[in-house]
Amino acid sequence: MDEISDFQLVESCLEGDDTAWKDIVQRYQRLIYNLAYRFTGRFELAEELSQEIFLKIYRSLKKYRKQRGEFKGWITVMARNYLIDYIRKEKKNWNRYGGTDELDTLDYKTDDISPYGHVEKLEKIQFVHRCLGELSVDLRESLILREIEGMSYDEIATQLSAPLGTIKSRINRARIELARIVNMRRLSGAATGDFGRPTEEAL
Amino acid sequence: MNCQAFEEQVTAYLDGELRGSELTRFEQHMKECTLCAMLIENIQENIAIFQDIPDLAPPPHLAVKIMEATRVSKKGLRGNPLEFLRLEFPLVPRLAAAALVLLFMLTLGFNLLTQYPADMTELQQGDADLVSLVDYNSNRLVTKAVQAYQNVEESYETAATFFTGVKEFIESNYEQVKSAFRGQEKKEEEKEPEPKEMNQTQNMPGHLSKSA
Ligand SMILES: [Zn+2]
């Protein structure tokens, strides 16, 4: 079966076809949701941000019609910009979400990981993400783009409009500071207290 | 090499950019200094954790929520949000619901005020930051408004289920309740059965708190 192209869907969408928009949402919700999760390490927050990002995409469809190009790439850039904006603007609320109950919301599964390894893995990620939240915004955003999004130094420099040398030294500092924070939190026992759950409970 | 110089080269080392004598000195320090060796190890652990983030299936209700957010942003509220105020609910929850709706309207109103016409982006190319800020805030507000609306809906549904439960309970036990009262007031029939221990546990809407 021929799949309707993204551009056709956007066209129909702009003509007021709700089904077309629904198709776009179905097609790309996974991409956006995972991007938001990787940036935040929080399920609920990722969900909330996904809604906001799709709303932004929806309102920008006209712009896409003008410039065309690959739709997936276009929305990825838009989502990434939105998430960076979020990190910069919501700094104060960074630790508002999540906490020990967050993993309870994980009643759905990923495709390729057993629930056991999955929960343990997500606990680790959430713990390190929490620690990441203690870095300054400058360091945090650079590190997310490098470590989590796997972008090159050049790409990061462009994305954040900063000189290459600055980005490199930020990432270097961010790695060192994050390692220290993670160690400190682990030693203070926060890993099993504030940051995660005892293993038997998780299973 | 001291620890500070070591730290400055950590990323270059991890990226495989150190060569020759630089690399030798770096690795020499790593052998001699436990703290720096541990630092490298910890950084590598963190990198591995981040690279290993699994691809998650989005929650099943996400698409619906997204559709809802866009629909509200496009058309305003679906249906008439005040409709349920006409239903026959006791005064207090009705007032509470009205207050929630009012709060929601205010949020939405604020959002509409901060919205700007889509064409403005083209007019203000030079002021992209400002536009992006406004855009960002208006985005957040619409979603907040949708969430507020969803909350109102949820509390409405909870209240509705609760009062339906109460109503059903009263109806199904009406005769018993009535005769129980009569029995108490007139103190006529001492044989009036102790009516409803079992019925109560079955019919009271107490189970709602679990599902709510
Ligand atoms: Zn050292």
Residues of A in contact with B43 (CB under 8 A): 175-176, 178-179
pLDDT for residue A149: 93
Full residue range of the structural domain in which residue B91 is found:
82-211
Cα(B77)–Cα(B22) distance, integer angstroms: 65
Separation of A181 CA from ligand 1 center, angstroms?
A: 18
The set of residues, in sequence order, having a beta carbon less than 8 Å from that of A191 and lying 6+ positions away, is A127, A185
Backbone angles phi, psi at B74, to 5 degrees: -80, -50
Cα(B16)–Cα(B12) distance, integer angstroms: 6
A82, HSE (Cβ side, Cα atoms, 13 Å) = 28
Cα(B9)–Cα(B15) distance, integer angstroms: 10
Considering the domain architecture, whether residues B39 and B128 belong to the same structural domain is answered as no
Considering the domain architecture, whether residues B45 and B125 belong to the same structural domain is answered as no
**Most A-contacting residue of B68, B70, B134 (CB-CB within 10 A), to test interface:** B70
Cα(A22)–Cα(B195) distance, integer angstroms: 55
Q: Are A175 and B43 in contact (CB under 8 A)?
A: yes
pLDDT for residue A48: 94
Considering the domain architecture, whether residues B19 and B105 belong to the same structural domain is answered as no
Handedness of CA A134, A138, A144, A150 (dihedral sign): negative
Q: Which fold has domain A93-197?
A: Arc Repressor Mutant, subunit A (1.10.10)
**Is A74 in the B-facing interface, judged by CB distances under 8 Å?**
no
- A window 86-115, beta carbon within 8 A of B: 89, 105, 108-113
**Is B142 in the A-facing interface, judged by CB distances under 8 Å?**
yes
Separation of B16 CA from ligand 1 center, angstroms?
A: 19
In a domain, B131, yes or no: yes
* Mean residue pLDDT across chain A: 81
Considering the domain architecture, whether residues B163 and B113 belong to the same structural domain is answered as yes
pLDDT for residue A164: 96
In a domain, B75, yes or no: no
Backbone angles phi, psi at B48, to 5 degrees: -65, -40
Q: By C-alpha distance, which of A93, A86, A3 is closest to A37?
A: A86
Of the ranges A48-52, A147-151, A198-202, B146-150, which one carries the lowest mean pLDDT score? A198-202
pLDDT for residue B113: 60
- A window 184-203, beta carbon within 8 A of B: none
The set of residues, in sequence order, having a beta carbon less than 8 Å from that of B167 and lying 6+ positions away, is none
Helix spans in chain B (H): 3-8, 10-14, 20-32, 34-51, 62-75, 91-114, 120-123, 128-172, 174-186, 197-203, 208-211
The residue ranges of chain B whose pLDDT is under 70 are 74-94, 109-136, 149-150, 152-158, 160-212
In a domain, B18, yes or no: yes
The structural domain count of chain B equals 2
Question: 3-class secondary structure for chain A?
Answer: CCCCCHHHHHHHHHCCCHHHHHHHHHHHHHHHHHHHHHHHCCHHHHHHHHHHHHHHHHHHHHHHHHHCCCHHHHHHHHHHHHHHHHHHHCHHHCCCCCCCCHHHHCCCCCCCCCHHHHHHHHHHHHHHHHHHCCCCHHHHHHHHHHHHCCCCHHHHHHHCCCCHHHHHHHHHHHHHHHHHHHHHHHHCCCCCCCCCCCHHHHC
Separation of B25 CA from ligand 1 center, angstroms?
A: 12
Of the ranges A7-16, A185-194, B79-88, B112-121, which one carries the lowest mean pLDDT score? B79-88
By CA distance, what is A23's nearest residue in B? B63
pLDDT for residue B46: 95
Cα(A47)–Cα(B7) distance, integer angstroms: 37
* Residue A45 pLDDT grade (very low, low, confident, very high; cuts 50, 70, 90): very high
| Residue A35 vs residue B156, higher pLDDT | A35
CB-CB: which of B43, B60, B135 is closest to A179? B43
Cα(A156)–Cα(A143) distance, integer angstroms: 9
Q: Are A53 and B142 in contact (CB under 8 A)?
A: no
Separation of B36 CA from ligand 1 center, angstroms?
A: 4
Considering the domain architecture, whether residues B207 and B123 belong to the same structural domain is answered as yes
pLDDT for residue B158: 65
pLDDT for residue B109: 67
Break chain A into its structural domains and give their ranges.
1-91, 93-197
Considering the domain architecture, whether residues B207 and B122 belong to the same structural domain is answered as yes
pLDDT for residue B44: 95
The mean pLDDT value for A121-125 works out to: 85
Q: By C-alpha distance, which of A14, A33, A170 is closest to B62?
A: A33
Cα(A32)–Cα(B144) distance, integer angstroms: 19
CATH number attached to the domain at A1-91? 1.10.1740.10
User: Which structure tokens are listed for B196?
Assistant: 């409803």
Q: Calculate ∠ Cα A96-B131-A46, nearest 5°.
A: 30
In a domain, B73, yes or no: no
Q: Please tell me the distance in Å from A134's CA to the nearest CA on chain B.
A: 15
Q: Is a pLDDT exceeding 80 seen at residue A136?
A: yes
Cα(B136)–Cα(A48) distance, integer angstroms: 14
Q: By C-alpha distance, which of A29, A3, A136, A128 is closest to B45?
A: A128
The set of residues, in sequence order, having a beta carbon less than 8 Å from that of B2 and lying 6+ positions away, is B29
In a domain, B63, yes or no: no
Q: Is a pLDDT exceeding 70 seen at residue A115?
A: no
